[in-house]
Chains A and B, each alone.
Chain A
Amino acid sequence: MKIKNIAVAIATLGAAISLVGCGGSKGEISLWVGNESVEFYDKVVKEYLANNADFGYNVKVVASDAGTIAGSMLADNTACGDIITIAHDNIGKLAQKSYIKALTDEALLAQIEADNPDTYKEVIRSTIPNSGTTDKYVFGSPYISQALFLMYNKQYVSETQAQTFEGLKEAALALRETDTDKKGDIHGCTLAGTDGFNFSFTLLARKAEDNSTTLKLYEGLDKSNSYCQGDDTVAVTRWAQDAFRNGTLEWPNDSGYATMMQTHTALAVVGGAWHYNAVVSAIGKDNVGLALIPTFTLTADNVAETTIPANTVMRGGTFADCKCFVINGASDKNKYEAEQKLITYLSSKEIQNQSFKEAMNVPAYEGSMDYIESIKSEIDSNAYQLAKAQSQMAEYGIPQPFVTATLNNYYYQNGGPDLYKNLIIIDPKTEGDDTIRKVREVLFTMEYIWKWGNSTVDKLDIPETLPGDTSTKVS
């Protein structure tokens, strides 16, 4: 215990800390992008700074967790980047508390207006409370599009089988015959997660022939303009209940979807681009097939007591979201101009294209498929398939329509997704209620929650006769 030694040690460590903390003194803009593409944006930003000596700021590119970023912003946005990346559905939550700034730069607004599909333009705007105006302001600049699609194991599933859930089931049942060790543990398809986003493909399914559904979720961004009690939704739900029992679908277990793919407990998975790496790691790159979320045919049992004809072909739907750059409300006002310039550059078509080529981020702008087709020969075939599947899925999907904090809250935090999940899990041990009446009751409740939150849902009186209901109430 020599004091001198300790003192020397402390001094050395102190010096080490200050070395680690060394940095430039020029003003700095920190740019938060997804973990998977941080190297790409680091490179792009460096090029930008080299070409724009008058930009006036250093830019620090930081990797962030897109899933938790909104939470971090709400907790303390001064500890977050100046420009951050969020999924569009978080915009309302942050904008309405002034945690992010409206975009006003004309060049940027013009670019957003010109490049993006209408569906995106709709959901990146928000009104601002206490502003004395009901005008909507643009808060985010989309630069990556995200939708669910199918990744399957080519070893066991043929390209044709991957087109339909029936095909996936067929492949699974065939494998059960040959792989006697695993028997009942083989399933056609699993999901990448158990949350409302990941199983949205069932609830949001559409009629394949005309891409129609009676389901309405905050249409026109109006909270009361929601509907999920249509006969098609009922039939799809009945189909999902079956699918999770007959070997077609399986929930991801605690080993994770990737391990399930590896052990061929599941032959396919419905997931997003951010799950691709894990799937590749599980079954090898050459075995990964990419496709649209399959179609399925409603059986006579599924459509019983509804007006939907049997053998109607449905296509799994998806939430087709976009990731946006937004400006942190706590960012220094002097940086505002520069930040918007940087965003304009980073979300330009050219950079989006480059980002696709180098970091596999699927572009968000309208007509990006043309570019992808044009470089088809230059790129990895999987990257091409992935982009194609995703952008086609976007046509069958809707962006999560949560442009206000309230809608987001009502959809996610009030238990709606839970309700649906528990409806389609029919626990064999507890002999869950799988009658059509139960389905209608849950859908009725869910619609109520979408519209009004859940504070009074306990006292909700479910009417004797529900829309489209021909059966009598079972008590």
Chain B
Amino acid sequence: MIKQKKKYASQSKREAASLAGSYIVLTILALVWIIPILWIVLSAFRGDVGIVSPDFIPKTFGIENFKRLFTGTYYGVKYAFLKWMLNTLIVAVLDCVISTFLILSVAYCMSKLRFKLRKAFMNLTMIIGLFPGFMSMIAIYFLLKAVGLAGNTSSDTAWLNIVGLILAYSAGAGMGYQIAKGFFDVIPTSLVESAKLDGCTNFKIFWKIILPLSKPIIIYTALMSFTGPWMDFIFAKVIIGTGSPEMWTVSVGLYSIMFGKQADASMFTQFAAGCVIVGIPIVSLFMALQNYYVEGVTAGAVKG
């Protein structure tokens, strides 16, 4: 008995020690993880406007950068940053709605229906997904241009470039159905079967039975397609083009401010402020929907 007790005592001591160790390791790691982001935030709140500074913590604090960002003229566009944010919001929302619908419907068909050419379709999407995207960008640009949805410069047609961008983002989205399919695969097929016996159409089964059960994957898919446009700075620039900066998305705008061929290094703090503003909505979405995100990621991992 005594021996046992001793054993427990030493065990709990050891556990306490290991727990303390975990705290230390985690805190150090968390610091490493947070420092670059913290640095951007600190730079954004630097009192003086200007270039990158070797000081980690600024000497003065202020919100001048944010003021300039919101009122400033960039690339000849007044209130450019606000316009870019609005453009990105429009692109993101529409892309999110269309992509989510396409992805889920394709995933449903692939998971719960059996039809001719199903496997051919799955193979096709997997194989062409493996081609690096850069080469196809110019072809996509010219195809969109042929129907008037890219490369417009005059102020009354430039908005069509945004339509082109939404189309290019969302049209192919259905090919990324694998994760959602993994999720649907887990939903018992018997549910579908019994609904069929009750005379439900496939559409009704999808809309009334499958979707209500799929909140996590709907949110995951929507989250992914909503955040995409905020992060892409290459494809969007090719499609919208340099000729209509008022139609840029915010990532294209911020990237150009800081890293265009003749970018002005003194824009850095404003760039940082822009990053913070862009970061806030995405990060808060992520945080709010973290659990769904985890479910989506796990479904993807398990099913590939």
Q: Do chains A and B touch in the complex (CB under 8 A)?
A: yes
| Option from B87, B90, B241, B262 in Cβ contact (under 8 Å) with A67 | B262
Interface size on B, residues (CB 8 A): 52
| Option from A36, A62, A78, A80 in Cβ contact (under 8 Å) with B245 | A62
Cα-based distance from A35 to B157 in the complex (angstroms): 22
Q: Which of B28-36, B46-54, B177-185, B275-283 contacts A (4 or more CB under 8 A)?
A: B46-54
Cα-based distance from A281 to B264 in the complex (angstroms): 10
Cα-based distance from A75 to B52 in the complex (angstroms): 33
Are A64 and B242 neighbours in the complex by a CB distance under 8 Å?
yes
Flag whether B129 is at the interface (Cβ < 8 A). Answer: no
Nearest residue (CB) in B for A265 is: B54
Central interface residue in B51, B138, B145, B256, by most chain A CB within 10 Å: B51
Q: Which of B59-67, B120-128, B158-166, B223-231 contacts A (4 or more CB under 8 A)?
A: B158-166
Flag whether B154 is at the interface (Cβ < 8 A). Answer: yes
Kindly supply a per-residue 1/0 record for chain B positions 254-287, scoring 1 wherever the CB is within 8 Å of any chain A CB and 0 otherwise: 0010001110111000000000000000000000
Are B76 and A67 neighbours in the complex by a CB distance under 8 Å?
no
Flag whether A282 is at the interface (Cβ < 8 A). Answer: yes
Flag whether B190 is at the interface (Cβ < 8 A). Answer: no
Are A17 and B163 neighbours in the complex by a CB distance under 8 Å?
yes
State which size class the interface on A falls in: 35 or more
Q: Which residues of A sit under 8 angstroms from B244, Cβ to Cβ?
A: 62
Nearest residue (CB) in A for B49 is: A281
- A5 CB to nearest chain B CB (Å): 11
Are B260 and A277 neighbours in the complex by a CB distance under 8 Å?
no
Central interface residue in A13, A22, A274, A280, by most chain B CB within 10 Å: A13
Flag whether A81 is at the interface (Cβ < 8 A). Answer: yes
Cα-based distance from A459 to B105 in the complex (angstroms): 60
Are B90 and A256 neighbours in the complex by a CB distance under 8 Å?
no
Q: Give the secondary structure class of A's interface.
A: helix
Cα-based distance from A64 to B94 in the complex (angstroms): 29
Q: Which residues of A sit under 8 angstroms from B94, Cβ to Cβ?
A: 10, 13
Are A79 and B76 neighbours in the complex by a CB distance under 8 Å?
no
Nearest residue (CB) in B for A7 is: B97
Flag whether B172 is at the interface (Cβ < 8 A). Answer: no
Cα-based distance from A67 to B241 in the complex (angstroms): 15
Contacts A35-B262, A62-B243, A258-B265; A78 near B151 (Cβ below 8 A):
yes
Flag whether A278 is at the interface (Cβ < 8 A). Answer: yes
Contacts A62-B244, A72-B242; A13 near B93 (Cβ below 8 A):
yes
- A406 CB to nearest chain B CB (Å): 23
Nearest residue (CB) in A for B152 is: A79
- A334 CB to nearest chain B CB (Å): 14
- A43 CB to nearest chain B CB (Å): 11
Cα-based distance from A385 to B261 in the complex (angstroms): 26
- A136 CB to nearest chain B CB (Å): 29
| Option from B212, B246, B262 in Cβ contact (under 8 Å) with A66 | B262
Which residues of B (113-165) have their CB < 8 Å from a CB of A? Answer: 138, 141-142, 145, 150-160, 162-163
Q: Which 4 A-B pairs have the closest CB atoms?
A: A21-B159, A67-B261, A281-B266, A79-B151
In addition to A30-B154, A65-B260, A76-B142, 14 A-B residue pairs with Cβ atoms within 8 Å of each other are A1-B212, A1-B218, A9-B97, A10-B94, A21-B159, A25-B156, A63-B76, A65-B262, A68-B242, A78-B145, A79-B152, A277-B266, A278-B264, A281-B266
Chain B interfacial positions (CB closer than 8 Å to A): 49-54, 73-77, 83, 86-87, 90, 93-94, 97, 138, 141-142, 145, 150-160, 162-163, 211-212, 218, 241-247, 256, 260-262, 264-266
15 A–B contacts, CB within 8 A, in A order: A1-B212, A16-B86, A20-B159, A23-B156, A30-B153, A38-B76, A62-B245, A65-B242, A69-B242, A72-B242, A72-B243, A80-B243, A262-B53, A274-B262, A280-B266
Chain A interfacial positions (CB closer than 8 Å to B): 1, 6, 9-10, 13, 16-18, 20-25, 28, 30, 32, 34-36, 38-39, 42, 60-69, 72, 75-76, 78-81, 255-259, 262-263, 274, 277-278, 280-282
